[in-house]
Amino acid sequence: MTETTPPQTYDHASTERRWQRQWEERALYRASDDSPKPKYYTLEMLPYPSGDLHVGHAKNYTLGDAVARMMRMQGYNVVHPMGWDAFGLPAENAAIQRGIDPSQWTHQNIANMERQLRLLGTSYDWSREIASCEPEYYRWNQWFFLKMYERGLAYKREAPVNWCPKDQTVLANEQAEGGVCWRCGSPVERRNLSQWFLKITAYADELLNGLDDLPGWPERIKTMQRNWIGRSQGVTFSFEIERLGQHIRVFTTRPDTTFGVTFLAIAAEHPVVAKLLEISKRSGEIERFIQGVKNKSELERTSLMEKDGVFTGIYAVNPLSHERVPIWVTNYVLAEYGTGAVMGVPAHDERDFEFARKHALPIVQVILPPGTTEPETLHEAYVSEGRMIASGDFTGMASKRGLRAVGDRLTQLGVGEWTVNYRFRDWLLSRQRYWGTPIPIVYCETHGEQPVPYAELPVLLPTNIPITGEGSPLARDENFMRATCPVCGGPARRESDTMDTFMDSSWYFLRYLDPHNDREPFSTALAQHWMPVDQYIGGAEHAVLHLLYARFFYRVCRDMGLVEGDEPFTRLFNQGTLIYGGEKMSKSRGNVVGIDATVEQHGVDAMRLFLLAAGPPEDVTDWTDTGIQGRVRFLNRLWRLADAAAPRLRELPVDPLPATATPQEKSLLRALHLAYKSALDEANTRRFHFNTTIARLDEVLNALTELSRTPGGEKNVVYLQALRGTLLALAPFAPHIAEELWERMGGEESIHLQTFPQPNAGVLALDEVTVVVQVNGKVRARLQVPPRTGEEDVAALALQEPAVQTQIDGKTLRKRVYVPDKLLNLVVS
RNA sequence: GGGGAAGUGGCGGAAUCGGUAGACGCAGACGCCUCAAAAGCGUCCGGGGGUGACUCCGUGUGGGUUCGAGUCCCACCUUCCCCA
């Protein structure tokens, strides 16, 4: 046989396929519930099965997998599960637009995405997989709902919502942007509809204060949650309406400005409006205004629209100053926030100022800014503290003290009380949609609203029913709607609303711990063993939605005795997005780089390395088609060296610290141990900047290449042992090639079950260090000296340097700064 | 409008504690190998000046603190994110 050229590249496709199969067969990543090792729960946010993964998704899962593998190799019993957020609108839209069964659509997508996740070489424990659309899962949503119902945490009430008159359904705020239905384009209305809520506000203070106990969370996420909860302390008090004998209650955080009230602003939906209409002479005008306001979405009302209003012709009385103040119906006060009415103090509130300007209402200054003695014409509201004026008994008081004093006076007068108000509202759980968890409630003509008995769970979502996109499919399905009353056994109607899908993701991390339990949502003992999640990884888009709901849910579980502790996620890491061609990857932009084609062309190890090396994981990073080439080259270079060395390594006993002789050997070993240190530091400080670790591995390969080219290099023991070490350091990031070469080198067991090597201080130490010599802060020379050389010795050497001499010649030495092993700065003049 | 984060070569980025700016990679230039190409290998690669040893400038802009600033402080500009 004639001599053939050896293969230049390794066959990534067959290698990757082979090891993925082997790992699965050997259940390599199965987490044991009773391991003596310390537990580590690492988790990526579960995906919605939209159909296809692109390299942007891969960035997230690759990081999570690198973390899981690093912890596993450090001796932790790692649980790293994966599942599917499988209920939701896209499946239903596929049904509406293309007549595809939502269940079938979802299951096809799950099958495909699971295949793709396996393709990524992720080390998930698939035996724990869950899909939220399965009755085995959603029955426990219903179970939790009933438990919350019993505890008064789930309740039904009327609330204003976005309503599309054509499609006959409620819409989420983001589905009604610009005031029109996202599907049919009809203008949406605000409607008061009876809806199910979860009482998350009952935990408001706990959710707020708990943030202080989460040092492992990004500060900005905590700030966002604090702002979202929006706790404010103030006074709720009443203004009596003239000629009506009724009151309007207002909430204010600034009772010290009560004497500056020049109008009352109430929401168009405020219940008192009906009464006002009865006695107002201007009812026609008011009704026209209200009609215009009601059609607008909340988004438009709070941010887009100019502040507007209409005077009712009716007055109320300020309980402190006894002045008459006009009552206005406005578009900038929301019925759902506070009391649905605010006192208008234009001098000291920006929105009130703007409103007063527009409608020529008086602006009465009652707080003087420090350093002023007379009220001046205001060009904008003065919202800070100062001295109170024109405020009856309180005149002359500092406003900070006045705030308390006025609040207390209102309380003493019996017209008000100190209250705490929150910006966020209870969680609206109802959806008039098909593809979700049915709410387990029936309505009996005699016994009214009744919970479905636990024994009858799950209330199954019917399959094969028509989905047209108009109205609730469940409400029209007679078989589903017909039920019996659990109290009297008589006929009853089912609740046709389904649950918001954030219900599913509020507790899925607990179900992973006990995914096949058919007696309870999860075993308390297993939750105690594994919880809390040690590391949670996901995008920042869920900062106030999922992450707040899950914290609420966990506390409810705690109060039910199902879990211990308050917080489900000890540490949170926010991934940055991956952009391509300057834009976020998305189907609609047509700039999606799919993972199937990428993996086929370059191999998944190269892709994983590129995604990790592209930049810090929390940053927005760029996908480039050429960048991955560098990682392909890296793997091929490593392959050529390691594959050739494998036969020798099979004969060579493992020795992590071979004796070095030459400077080249020393610098190779040092590079390797710096790579170990980098990987361990990044994993254990949770900085996760593995981009720097991969740069260290590049340097190791450069050093390996260099040593392999010295005479006899390929037999050099240091070189050979370093190759073995390189594979161990690479294993968490490029698991397939590392495993393949490990096997070829005669490694026992899987490389992924090995212990990650520890950096050795002796190896890291340098024989010589470079000390920079500066004159007046500018580098003039570099000295090679042994570590920890004394200042006098370094100074003596420095003065012999010609470049230093010319700089200090004829000048006086003023100061000498010495940083051992780093620098000597000579200050002269 | 308010709050937050970030601005470093042609590009992605490194410099983790105030101490050699530009590690590592991509792209590019030149060379080797080859009939040729691909792959691979080698050298160079912030800007100005100089044959060269070198030298001056340089981390968005302008100030400041310091022996010394990409890093700390103040103001401004730009971009992105969140809230309104």
Q: Which of A764, A779, A795 lies at the terminal end of a domain, its last residue?
A: A764
A477 located within any domain: yes
A753 located within any domain: yes
**Whole-number CA gyration radius for chain A:** 34
Q: Which nucleotide is nearest to A618 (CA to C1')?
A: B5
- Give residue A432's pLDDT: 85
Residue in A503, A557, A510 with CA at minimum distance from that of residue A196 = A503
Domain that holds residue A157: 143-200+426-501
CATH code for the domain in which residue A773 is found = 3.10.20.590
Q: Is the CB of A5 under 7 A from strand B?
A: no
Q: Which nucleotide is nearest to A780 (CA to C1')?
A: B20
Residues A683 and A807 in one domain: no
| Most distant pair of Cα atoms in chain A: their distance | 112
Q: Which nucleotide is nearest to A630 (CA to C1')?
A: B25
Residues A682 and A760 in one domain: yes
Q: Which of A469, A501, A533 lies at the terminal end of a domain, its last residue?
A: A501
- Give residue A7's pLDDT: 44
Residues A657 and A757 in one domain: yes
Considering only residues 295-314 of protein chain A, which place a Cβ less than 7 A from any atom of strand B?
A: 302-303
Residues A758 and A783 in one domain: no
Tell me the CA–C1' distance in angstroms for A369 and B64.
31
Tell me the CA–C1' distance in angstroms for A797 and B57.
29
Considering only residues 138-197 of protein chain A, which place a Cβ less than 7 A from any atom of strand B?
A: none
3-state helix, strand, coil in chain A (%, to 5): 40, 20, 40
Q: Which nucleotide is nearest to A637 (CA to C1')?
A: B40
Tell me the CA–C1' distance in angstroms for A777 and B64.
18
A160 located within any domain: yes
Spatial separation of the C-alpha atoms in residues A438 and A586, rounded to whole Å? 31
Tell me the CA–C1' distance in angstroms for A790 and B55.
31
Q: Is the CB of A583 under 7 A from strand B?
A: no
Q: Is the CB of A636 under 7 A from strand B?
A: yes
A575 located within any domain: no
pLDDT tens across A81-100, in order?
A: 999 999 988 888 888 888 89
Query: Which DSSP symbol is given to A540?
Result: G
Question: How far lies A566's CA from each of A48, A211, A711, in Å?
Answer: 27, 11, 63
- For residue A41, the tally of other CB atoms under 10 A from its CB is 27
A663 located within any domain: yes
Q: Is the CB of A619 under 7 A from strand B?
A: yes
A381 located within any domain: yes
Residues A447 and A398 in one domain: no
Tell me the CA–C1' distance in angstroms for A342 and B74.
39
Q: Domains in chain A: how many in total?
A: 4
Question: How far lies A229's CA from each of A203, A225, A544, A679, in Å?
Answer: 10, 6, 9, 38
pLDDT tens across A592-620, in order?
A: 889 999 999 999 999 999 999 999 999 88
Place of tokens 């610009």: A178
- For residue A289, the tally of other CB atoms under 10 A from its CB is 19
- Give residue A2's pLDDT: 31
pLDDT tens across A637-662, in order?
A: 999 999 999 999 999 999 888 888 88
Question: How far lies A621's CA from each of A13, A56, A573, A603, A613, in Å?
Answer: 27, 10, 16, 20, 10
**In this model, does residue A527 exceed pLDDT 80?**
yes
Considering only residues 755-794 of protein chain A, which place a Cβ less than 7 A from any atom of strand B?
A: 770, 772, 774, 776-780, 782
Residue A292 neighbours by CB under 8 Å, 6+ apart = none
Residues A475 and A387 in one domain: no
The residue among A107 and A815 whose pLDDT is bigger is A107
| Mean residue pLDDT across chain A | 89
Tell me the CA–C1' distance in angstroms for A759 and B15.
21
Spatial separation of the C-alpha atoms in residues A510 and A564, rounded to whole Å? 12
Among the ranges given (A117-126, A137-146, A351-360, A408-417), the one the predictor scored with the smallest mean pLDDT: A351-360
Considering only residues 41-80 of protein chain A, which place a Cβ less than 7 A from any atom of strand B?
A: none
Question: How far lies A675's CA from each of A180, A750, A760, A789, in Å?
Answer: 56, 21, 11, 27
Residues A239 and A313 in one domain: yes
Tell me the CA–C1' distance in angstroms for A606 and B6.
29
Spatial separation of the C-alpha atoms in residues A826 and A775, rounded to whole Å? 5
Tell me the CA–C1' distance in angstroms for A613 and B13.
9
Spatial separation of the C-alpha atoms in residues A534 and A43, rounded to whole Å? 8
Spatial separation of the C-alpha atoms in residues A483 and A241, rounded to whole Å? 49
Spatial separation of the C-alpha atoms in residues A727 and A642, rounded to whole Å? 9
CATH code for the domain in which residue A292 is found = 3.90.740.10
Positions in chain B where some atom is under 7 Å from a protein CB: 3-5, 11-16, 19-21, 23-27, 39-42, 54-56, 67-69, 80-84
Percentage of chain A exceeding pLDDT 70:
96
Residues A383 and A298 in one domain: yes
A520 located within any domain: no
**How crowded is the C-beta side of A231, counted as CA atoms within 13 Å?**
13
Query: Which DSSP symbol is given to A612?
Result: H
Tell me the CA–C1' distance in angstroms for A255 and B20.
61
Q: Which of A368, A395, A421 lies at the terminal end of a domain, its last residue?
A: A421
A778 located within any domain: yes
Query: Which DSSP symbol is given to A106?
Result: H
Instruction: Name the residue type at position A37.
Output: K
Among the ranges given (A368-382, A399-413, A770-784), the one the predictor scored with the smallest mean pLDDT: A368-382
Considering only residues 529-558 of protein chain A, which place a Cβ less than 7 A from any atom of strand B?
A: 540-541, 543-544
- Give residue A284's pLDDT: 87
Residues A483 and A629 in one domain: no
**In this model, does residue A538 exceed pLDDT 80?**
yes
A306: tokens are 């100019």
CATH code for the domain in which residue A479 is found = 2.170.220
Q: Is the CB of A216 under 7 A from strand B?
A: no
Tell me the CA–C1' distance in angstroms for A11 and B39.
15
Question: How far lies A504's CA from each of A84, A107, A474, in Å?
Answer: 10, 17, 19
Residues A449 and A305 in one domain: no
Q: Which nucleotide is nearest to A701 (CA to C1')?
A: B24
Residue in A606, A609, A574, A577 with CA at minimum distance from that of residue A591 = A577
Mean pLDDT is highest, among A102-106, A164-168, A289-293, A712-716, for: A102-106
Residues A682 and A715 in one domain: yes
Instruction: Name the residue type at position A124.
Output: Y
Mean pLDDT, range A371-397, rounded to an integer: 85
Residues A627 and A748 in one domain: yes
- Give residue A112's pLDDT: 96
Spatial separation of the C-alpha atoms in residues A69 and A430, rounded to whole Å? 40
